[in-house]
Amino acid sequence: MPDARIAVVGATGAVGAVTMRLLRERGHENVRAFASARSAGRTLEGGIVVEEATPKALASAGVDLALFSVGTSASRELVPHAVRGGAVVVDKSSAYRLEPGVPLVVPEVNGERAREHDGIVANPNCCTIPLTCVLGPLHEAAGLKRVRVSTYQSVSGAGAWRMEQLRAEPPAEHDLAMDWSWDGDETDEESKLRSETRKILELPELPISATTVRVPVLVGHAEAVWIELEEPLSPEQASAVLGAAPSVRLVDVPTPGAAAKTDDVLVGRIRPDRAGENGLVLFLACDNLNKGAALNAIQIAELLLGDRVAA
Amino acid sequence: MPDARIAVVGATGAVGAVTMRLLRERGHENVRAFASARSAGRTLEGGIVVEEATPKALASAGVDLALFSVGTSASRELVPHAVRGGAVVVDKSSAYRLEPGVPLVVPEVNGERAREHDGIVANPNCCTIPLTCVLGPLHEAAGLKRVRVSTYQSVSGAGAWRMEQLRAEPPAEHDLAMDWSWDGDETDEESKLRSETRKILELPELPISATTVRVPVLVGHAEAVWIELEEPLSPEQASAVLGAAPSVRLVDVPTPGAAAKTDDVLVGRIRPDRAGENGLVLFLACDNLNKGAALNAIQIAELLLGDRVAA
């Protein structure tokens, strides 16, 4: 498995850089880096020289797996060429997430679906991943009825340039924002959070309402979540369920700062919903570049490589 | 009315400074400033010299109104002396808010209650004020059934020293926080938001669930709100109701930055709650030092002074 041939496409972006670091830390040694013409030729840590991500280069790269972390339109353009070249693609953009036949995978929640791919596995949105890590186990324990969530999303989710902008801007200018495209009366982040969560949990009708907000924090997303359940579940029972859930770590007050550079989804403030029956309220935080993006993709990749080794 | 004798107690704090400025802008000329021994002797804009806020000084100040913006324990200690001296006190701390017989007032929502005071009128929490400006008119229109709210509160709500701290701290350290005292499994900010909203709206059983969060923004609080109503109310109808409500201004995307230094509660993102029936979701923002604190207190004061002039 460590000698699988892996390409990282978009290797110089905010998520790509974390992907390169995590692959190195996890012992993957046969890694090539691709990016746009602007970054091609740069030398990354470990002496890896960035190659230009052209359709031809990707079709002839001869890799087992390609981890894409580029924008949606670049994914639409380039992913088919990598697939044509024989790679299984794990794509972090929203290009293929809702496409029938493309598995949308959080390994802890629906890892078995990854095997049903036809060349592409999609990596969910950075807010969907930690949310489903929490909703999945609670659904198994007591059945989900309704979910409401408001997000506190760091600027790194909008790209490396927004991190530079925040670093340069005086604190008096720090503000909240809803800097996404609009999908009717919602941000497309809000509609993604709903449709992706439904697909991953295989609950196509689950009522979900989201309000997504950008906050002036560099790294780490948080979410305030209200969960209505089919069956009663006390905060103590929910804590026991979540404490045993993979990738979840219970803490008193989860914050982006505490989650940054860790692999875990931090969950806390689990209490009854005083506004509803069979309801729980909780707060979660997760490193949006790590488990919220790069790590989840690598976990999908390792799951597929594990099958290959076992086969 | 402009020649009413007014004392501002806590005149050098974050809210006190805004109170002094707004009083000046609104033509109040007979204003004295009180603060702790540490600030006594300082000269403020307009040549007003800060006096020490001792029990004796307040009992003998001979003012019509005293606007307190000091901490809860200082209010408990000093307010009775100002009342004994014949002043009507508008107190911004949480010391008296839930006390029976003490009106808790948002002039646009329950201004008539201010007249029932027995020397003290309480000014609500900085999140409660904008929330009730929105919930009051919606309740009249369609009846409130349940309310869920998550907050995005700026550091100025925690005091001027936190503003200095945020200004001095590198952006990489900016984080979310829940820097309130705990009241069982809630922050005391969350329980205040519930009990104060119930008192102001005179709905003692209204189910309200809140998650309060501090964000690294200097001034301005925002709230993501889910409202379940007794009767159906479309987003268009809700916009019409709120567009006609006093102190509410409809905008596309309310943010603390847009609300800062304005008198209005900005409301937007009004849409159906996709997770419930007869539900609305909206987002609001308000200057927590202005309408969220100082301006609301001054509006209460002016309402009481107006009665006195009319009497």
List of residues 6+ apart from A115 with CB closer than 8 A:
A103, A304, A307
pLDDT of residue B307: 67
Tokens 């009522």 correspond to A207
- Please indicate whether residue A126 is annotated as part of the active site: yes
Which chain B residues are closer than 8 Å to A171 by Cβ? 166-167, 216, 218
The residue among A180, A193, A215 with the most chain B CBs within 10 A of its CB, best to mutate, is: A215
Q: Three-state SS for A59? A: helix
B221 catalytically annotated = yes
d(CA A7, CA B102): 68
CB contact under 8 A, B217 and A273: no
Whether B178 and chain A come into contact, CB under 8 Å, resolves to yes
Determine contact, residues B88/B304, Cβ cutoff 8 Å.
yes
Q: Is A200 a residue whose pLDDT tops 90? A: yes
Q: What percent of chain B has pLDDT over 90?
A: 95
Q: What's the pTM value of the predicted model, to 2 decimals?
A: 0.96
Catalytic residue (choose from B28, B117, B139, B221): B221
**Confidence band for B311, pLDDT divided at 50, 70 and 90:** very low
Helix axes B128-142, B188-201, angle to 10 degrees: 40
**Cβ distance of A217 and B176 shorter than 8 Å:** yes
| pLDDT tens, residue by residue, B205-253 | 999 999 999 999 999 999 999 999 999 999 999 999 999 999 999 999 9
Q: Which of A148, A216, A235 sits opposite B226 (nearest CB)?
A: A148
Check B215 against A175: CB less than 8 A apart: no
The helix or strand, by DSSP H or E, that contains position A9, with its residue range, turns out to be strand A6-9
* CB-based contact, B21 to chain A, within 8 Å: no
Q: Which of A185, A256, A276 sits opposite B176 (nearest CB)?
A: A256
CB contact under 8 A, A275 and B208: yes
The answer to whether A136 faces chain B, any CB pair under 8 Å, is no
Give whole-number Cα distances, A242 to A97, A112, A138, A141, A237, in Å.
26, 20, 7, 10, 9
Nearest to A176 among B177, B194, B217 (CB): B217
Give the three-class secondary structure for A18: helix
Query: Helix, strand or coil for residue B100?
Result: coil
> What is the four-CA torsion angle of A49, A53, A58, A64, rounded to 10 degrees?
50
What mean pLDDT value characterizes chain A? 96
User: Measured between CB atoms, does B155 come within 8 Å of chain A?
Assistant: no
Confidence of residue A160 (pLDDT cuts 50, 70, 90): confident
Confidence of residue B165 (pLDDT cuts 50, 70, 90): very high
Q: How confident is the model at residue A311 (pLDDT cuts 50, 70, 90)?
A: very low
User: Which DSSP category does B34 fall into?
Assistant: E
Q: How many CB atoms within 10 Å of residue B27?
A: 9
Closest residue to A175, CB basis, from B173, B255, B271: B255
Q: Is A171 on the interface with B (CB under 8 A)?
A: yes
Please write the tens of the pLDDT for every residue from A80-120: 999 999 999 999 999 999 999 999 999 999 999 999 999 99
Residues 6 or more apart whose CB falls under 8 angstroms from that of A99 comprise A122
Q: List the catalytic residue out of A127, A139, A221, A286.
A: A221
Lowest mean pLDDT among A269-278, B4-13, B82-91, B302-311: B302-311
pLDDT in tens, B59-96: 999 999 999 999 999 999 999 999 999 999 999 999 99
